[in-house]
Amino acid sequence: MSSSRKTRIPRSQLNIDLIRDYKITFNSEHGARVLEDLVEFVGADKHCFDKDPIQTAFNLGQRNVILRIRELLNMVL
């Protein structure tokens, strides 16, 4: 059975410079404000499901972007 979910890239294979770029960008005062705005705008910390499956997919896609940013920010180099 194949899964449509992408497998996470092991930390050892990620581009260390890219992780640093995310950390520099979003751990700054300005970046933290931007991330907070994005979280609020896409409703990343709220209920994503809707009676319309297309809207649900859209909401989950937006949320996935925030999760990706948070995942990279939480990585230890």
Is 71 among the domain residues?
yes
Q: Which domain holds residue 49?
A: 34-77
When the pLDDT of each residue in the chain is averaged and rounded to a whole number, the result is 87
Which has more pLDDT, 15 or 41?
A: 41
Q: By three-state DSSP, how is residue 13 classified?
A: helix
Is 19 among the domain residues?
no
C-alpha distances in angstroms, 66 versus 5, 22, 26, 31?
17, 12, 11, 13
Compute the distance between CA of residue 49 and CA of residue 54 in angstroms, rounded to an integer: 10
Q: What global pTM score does this model have?
A: 0.76
Is 29 among the domain residues?
no
Domain count within the chain: 1
Is 8 among the domain residues?
no
Contact assessment for residue 22 and residue 75, using Cβ atoms and an 8 Å cutoff: no
Is 10 among the domain residues?
no
Which has more pLDDT, 4 or 40?
A: 40
Is 2 among the domain residues?
no
Question: Which letter does DSSP use for residue 44 in this model?
Answer: T
Is 27 among the domain residues?
no
Is 25 among the domain residues?
no
